[in-house]
Amino acid sequence: MENKKTPLPELEKRWKKLQEQMQEQGIGGALIVQRVDLFYFSGTAQDAHLFIPAQGRPQLLVRRNLQRARSESNLPQIAPFTGWKDLAGIIKAGTVPTAPLGLELDVLPVNLFRRYTKLLSPLKITDISPLVRNLRAVKSPYELEQLQKAAALSEAIFTHARDSCRAGMTEIELAAELEAFARARGHQGAIRMRGFNQELFFSHTMAGESAAAPSFFNGPTGGYGLNPSYPQGAGTCKIKPEQPLLIDFVTVLNGYMVDQTRIFCLGKPSAKLLQAHETALRIKETLTGLGRAGANGAELYQEAFEIAGASGLGDHFMGAEEKVAFIGHGVGLELDELPVIARNYDFTLTEGMVFALEPKFVFPGQGTVGIEDTFVVRPHGLEQITRFEDALQIL
């Protein structure tokens, strides 16, 4: 069985980078409790508290399961959680009394925040999440290796989709077939998102008008879903000839995910939809060249917006009645990481950042066309990780 433990040198680089930034900002330490951040810094996602002092080695205090945490994590200091007072004592002993303690305030529930505030008094609390998210945005060679493995599986999934799609089958039937194919090859199933009340199950596999149906999901496509309790994604609509079939699939291996979209069609779609798809490909090609290290995300979005407008299809770009104001989002351990390539969002790209670029056009009553691939930021442009033929797949 493949050793999937995060190597200790990798973990050490991560916590030392965070420590450097904490020292620069006068933060005395960080208490990490969110599951994805825990995994990033410790290599385990068991129920635990991870205390990272501004100097010295981190301590992982595990509530459950201690045995699993020790078998999964390469951290040198792993101990049982023995109570809230003991936790407070460890933190206070490892933090300069006049320096604030960092917590993940972008995701920490208010009641838990209040408990920590009372428990750790008189230590002041500050938000460590901007440091953590910016640190996680730049991927190491180890992380890029994991993403490449996910990309290889993603390509296999889309090849299987091309062979599996047939007229008359429902969205959910095709989605289930693709999900089973992915799971049998190591897809972990869970697709984690940081945003409050945002969630996704494997993919948006949607045909025709269903792919243009808006929903709560913060993306250009929504879908009807199967019922009002989960109103997005694949439903019972049937795949019909000459209607675009959108497959937006998130592939996750060893915790790391890539995001990829391709359009399939049983027969040739309308000329307008073909034009829109070609425009999406032109946007992808342009931004692949412009998205080098040092580029500004807002300027990249504006370039895409202008290309869409010049094609005469601006009203359908990234949504119809309800548009989203971004064209790219970071991916890694979560689907909504940094960077975000968005309107009026000044963000400078750094080499090693990874994001999904997804220029799409939405036509109510007809469907959605476009493309999505996952890229790494390099000095001279974007390096594509995901692979599959760009062209609209006419079956």
**Span 22-61, pLDDT tens digits:** 999 999 999 999 999 999 999 999 999 999 999 999 999 9
Report the pLDDT averaged over residues 313-318: 96
Q: What is the pLDDT of residue 97?
A: 87
Percent of the chain with pLDDT over 70: 99
Burial (CB count <10 Å: 0-12, 13-18, 19+), residue 169: middle
Tell me which amino acid residue 296 is: N
Express each pLDDT in 140-170 by its tens digit.
999 999 999 999 999 999 999 999 999 999 9
Phi, psi of 275 (to 5 degrees): -60, -45
Map out the domains of the chain with their CATH numbers. 8-136 (3.40.350.10), 138-394 (3.90.230.10)
Q: What is the pLDDT of residue 321?
A: 83
Asked if 204 and 211 count as a contact pair (C-beta separation under 8 A), the reply is yes
Q: Taking 90 as the threshold, does the pLDDT of residue 111 lie above it?
A: yes
Q: Taking 80 as the threshold, does the pLDDT of residue 290 lie above it?
A: yes
Tell me which amino acid residue 357 is: L
Percent of the chain with pLDDT over 90: 96
Query: What does pTM read for this prediction?
Result: 0.96
CB atoms under 10 Å from CB of 290, counted, come to 16
Report the pLDDT averaged over residues 103-107: 98
Express each pLDDT in 65-87 by its tens digit.
999 999 999 999 999 999 999 99
Token pair of 17, please? 């980078």
Average pLDDT, the chain: 96
Q: What is the pLDDT of residue 2?
A: 54
Token pair of 147, please? 């993403």
**Residues with Cβ < 8 Å from 241, sequence gap 6 or more?**
167, 266, 267
Report the pLDDT averaged over residues 118-129: 96
Q: What is the pLDDT of residue 4?
A: 85
Q: Taking 60 as the threshold, does the pLDDT of residue 1 lie above it?
A: no
Express each pLDDT in 167-184 by its tens digit.
999 999 999 999 999 999
Q: What is the pLDDT of residue 218?
A: 87
Express each pLDDT in 350-380 by its tens digit.
999 999 999 999 999 999 999 999 999 999 9
Q: Taking 70 as the threshold, does the pLDDT of residue 3 lie above it?
A: no
